[in-house]
Amino acid sequence: MEAVRAIKPLIRVAALSGSLRKYSFSTGLLRAAIDLTKESVPGIEIEYIDISLLPLLNTDLEIDGTYPPVIESFRQKILEADSILFACPEYNYSVSAPLKNALDWASRAPNVWANKPAAVISTGGDCGGGRSQYHLRQIGVFLDLHFINKPEFTLNAFQPPQKFDEEGNLVDEAAKERLKQVLVSLQAFTLRLQGK
């Protein structure tokens, strides 16, 4: 009986990468997060959502309150998720254009981001994408996204030791442990908001 109580309810996480590059470090962070849920963070199921196929936001594509099939499918995946995990690269102190496009499409009426718990992770040079994270959090205020506050996850991809391999996979064990703590925090926050 105690073992049954110890099992946490499954939460479904939609994971979005703001980078479309084949060997993207941002997408590599999401692959590492997916692996961690299989190895050491039970109760979380992460689905990677590919945003590369979304057309640029154009309200002419909205017809009688409906959206093109690719947009409808994307919006449905966000709606069905219990929480969101963003891998947010930094472009000119801000979020990337593909990520902003995805944010805007899913915010069209009805806003499917509303009341979703979320976490953001980033990697890059200097401050590891931290400025883009703060801009994403600012956008999230209007979208009614609820970001975890801690732990923050930024990673300088170019400072030794090596963080990623040639295919963009996270190989740094210390970074994996920090990423695990983000997932644990997102899980706890999601369950708290669900009243579980």
Provide the mean pLDDT of the chain. 94
Give me the percent of the chain exceeding a pLDDT of 90: 90
Judge whether residue 196 has pLDDT over 90: no
Q: What angle do CA 105, 111, 116 make, to 5 degrees?
A: 110
The domains located in the chain, with CATH, are 9-193 (3.40.50.360)
Q: Is the pLDDT of residue 5 over 60?
A: no
Give the percent of the chain with pLDDT over 70. Answer: 96
- What pLDDT, on the 0 to 100 scale, is given for residue 126? 86
The predicted-structure confidence for 6-43, as pLDDT tens digits, reads as follows 566 799 999 999 999 999 999 999 999 999 999 999 99
pLDDT single digits (tens) 92-120: 999 999 999 999 999 999 999 999 999 99
Do 187 and 44 touch, CB atoms closer than 8 A?
Answer: yes
pTM over 0.75? The answer is yes
Average the pLDDT over 118-132 and give the result: 93
**CA 156/CA 130 separation, integer angstroms:** 10
Angle between helix axes 97-107 and 69-80 (nearest 10 degrees) is 80
